[in-house]
Structure 1
């Protein structure tokens, strides 16, 4: 994997502050920031803080961050965008008192999946989006543990897609995320590990 420069992307919505150092990129989210379209809640939120750069076919993008969430719906991970109504966010989100690993896949309306990861707090999380054929495969891991499959979602192979680190703070001010890596490389060779 090859590092992507923190200055290579463009923010969908500028965060409250960004500080790039040798440790990575510290992002402070704006209170009320979020990404969602309609389903169940009836609203459209498109104020996520996503730093995006082009990602081609047969390419993977990884984002790593330190997991230190405390408020309802604190979230960080990776964001892939085709247009305002076609996007995916995947990562960890704090919901109902626990951290959950999941994804929101949006094609006109949003679809959310979430699974608890109680042992991940305070550790380094990496989210990987691998674009191949007519799909994007989302995987995640904590520290150097094995990759977990999070989601396989349809993605038009001809679409122009941008991707990169994302965070949101729907319910509070002062939420900060330390992103430690943003990388790109070849797409995963298969959906399932050998053996």
Structure 2
């Protein structure tokens, strides 16, 4: 049984409103601002906190899912799901263009950012679902495309006492004109176990 519920967009708040948004049926189209990004210091030496994220409450024991079309063609075009406490504590996970192919990855930030990637060239142009599940002191990130099983992306620490939000995000660090189509934004109960994953 699917216990997830669609998030009413009126119950979510933009962190850094994008250049434009539009609703087409049940889809949300987001146009990113030029040179928008989320990153803190590591290797690059800069802090960027002007990417776009539409956040709803993300308490312990809950999960948030976002589905979007991974249709990117410029370096660092990216979209997926963000978990956010504040400017120093956040996670972004999804698909990003790097080395000429779509990459499934995550950035976990606790003061400083890290970055992990794995190439998923066959995900180009397909709907990708990213799920963040919060239990205890951890957030588990999983992702998949239709007809394929969930993939574990990241297990990251998050204080049980932290007040967090989660929802779709996108960034366009190198260009103008990136538009991302989000087709689903839901919330529901957290996964029952680390290795079992979601029921559906």
Same fold (TM over 0.5): yes
2:114 counterpart SS class: strand
Measured in 1, the distance between the counterparts of 2:84 and 2:39 equals 13
SS of alignment partner, residue 7 of structure 1: helix
Q: Is 2:59 aligned against 1:56?
A: yes
- Aligned CA RMSD, in angstroms, stands at 1.0
Distance 2:78 2:10 in 1: 22
Q: Matched residues in 1 for 2:119 and 2:63: separation?
A: 25
Report what 1:101 is aligned to: 104
- Which residues in structure 2 correspond to 1:1-150 (within 5 Å)? 1-150=4-153
- Helix, strand or coil at the partner of 2:115: strand
Deviations 1:96-149 (A, max 9, x none): 211000100000000100000010011110000000011000000012311000
- The match for 1:188 is 191
User: Aligned partners of 1:45 and 1:104: how far apart in 2?
Assistant: 13
- Aligned partners of 1:143, 1:170: CA distance in 2, in Å? 28
Q: Could you state the TM-score of these two structures normalised by the residue count of structure 1?
A: 0.97
Unaligned runs of 5+ in 2: none
Residue in structure 2 matched with residue 168 of structure 1 by the alignment: 171
Q: Check conservation: 1:28, 1:176, Cα contact below 8 A.
A: yes
Structure 2: distance between partners of 1:57 and 1:144: 29
TM-score by length of structure 2 reads 0.95
The 10-residue stretch of structure 1 (5-14 or 27-36) with the greater mean CA deviation from structure 2: 5-14
Query: Following TM superposition, by how much is the alpha carbon of 1:152 offset from its aligned partner in structure 2, in angstroms?
Result: 0.1
Higher deviation after alignment, 63-72 or 8-17: 8-17
Deviation, 1:23, is 4.0
Deviant stretches of 4+, over 2 Å = none
How far apart, CA to CA, are the structure 2 residues paired with 1:142 and 1:64?
A: 9
